């Protein structure tokens, strides 16, 4: 059962957006998905409460704030949204359960600086050495100079740039309805689905 952790110590980088979209991707592939929210703000849990009954099922993995328990039986895929400032025992507890870590990162100097320390911590974590780590550029146009600089930073860390999520109102409108790109007609979000193809391929890799 793969556990995908969405993590970045900096707030406002798009962790909940990425978490809900990954859960929606797995659900669209026919998996039994649980979405956990370790953040006190509980943004992903709020999103789940808005999700229509007619949409593909995504279960809520209710988490104790002090300890990460095992997900319910029957779950095939787990996505875990994490809080800003993740560190210490909480960080180690979550990383012990992670098969993959996706780090959402915006192309700004401040985001890159804050995330570099976190990536170093990932590398120092014993279990993280056996965990696949990938970066997703958030709110960025892959054709820009900013994207080039972000990609150069990621390469300098020896990590893969898994893909990009562009700056679009589609994510905002869908989130307000508890939906993802994978819940609506492909023609409505064609450009965004194209950008998600390499992210999906990375998620599907064993």
Give dist(CA 13, CA 16) in Å, integer.
Answer: 9
If one counts the domains in the chain, the total is: 1
Neighbours of 48 (CB within 10 A): 18
Distances (CA, A) of 141 to 146, 151, 195: 8, 12, 10
Give dist(CA 131, CA 105) in Å, integer.
Answer: 18
What string of H, E and C letters represents the secondary structure of the chain?
CCEEEECCCCCCCCHHHHHHHHHHHHHHCCCCEEEEECCCCCHHHHHHHHCCCCCCCEEEECCCCCCCCCCCCCCCEEEEECCCCCCHHHHHHHHHHCCEEEEEECCCHHHHHHHHHHHHHHHHCCHHHHCEEEEEEECCCCCCHHHHHHHHHHHHCCCCEEEEECCCHHHHHHHCCCCCHHHCCHHHCHHHHHHHHHHHHHHHCC
**Contact indicator for 21, 180 with CB cutoff of 8 Å:** yes
The closest of 39, 51, 19, 43 to 85, measured between CA atoms, is 39
pTM above 0.75, yes or no: yes
Give dist(CA 76, CA 32) in Å, integer.
Answer: 5
Question: For residue 80, what is the domain's CATH number?
Answer: 3.40.50.300
pLDDT truncated to tens, each residue of the chain (206 aa)? 899 999 998 888 999 999 999 999 999 999 999 998 887 778 898 999 999 999 999 998 776 555 555 667 788 999 999 888 777 777 777 888 889 999 999 988 888 888 888 888 887 765 666 789 999 999 988 788 888 889 899 988 888 999 999 999 999 999 999 999 999 999 999 999 999 999 999 999 98
Task: Print the domain residue range for 94.
Answer: 3-204
Token digits for 128? Answer: 């993280």
């Amino acid at each position: 059962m793969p556990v995908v952790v969405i993590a970045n110590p900096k707030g406002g980088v798009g962790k909940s957006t990425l978490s809900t979209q990954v859960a929606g991707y797995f659900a669209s592939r026919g998996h039994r998905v649980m979405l956990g929210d370790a953040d006190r703000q509980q943004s992903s849990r709020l999103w789940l409460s808005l999700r229509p009954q007619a949409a593909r099922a995504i279960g809520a993995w209710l988490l104790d704030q002090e300890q990460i328990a095992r997900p319910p039986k029957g779950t095939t895929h787990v996505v875990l949204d994490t809080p800003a400032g993740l560190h210490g025992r909480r960080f180690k507890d979550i990383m012990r359960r992670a098969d993959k870590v996706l780090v959402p990162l915006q192309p700004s100097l401040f985001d890159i600086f804050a995330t570099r320390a976190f990536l170093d911590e990932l590398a120092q974590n014993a279990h993280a050495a056996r965990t696949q780590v990938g970066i997703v550029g958030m709110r960025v146009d892959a054709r820009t100079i900013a994207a080039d600089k972000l990609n150069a930073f990621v390469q300098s860390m020896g990590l893969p740039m898994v893909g990009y999520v562009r700056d679009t109102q589609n994510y905002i409108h869908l989130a307000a309805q508890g939906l993802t790109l994978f819940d609506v007609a492909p023609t409505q979000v064609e450009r965004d689905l194209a950008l998600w193809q390499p992210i999906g391929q990375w998620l599907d890799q064993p």
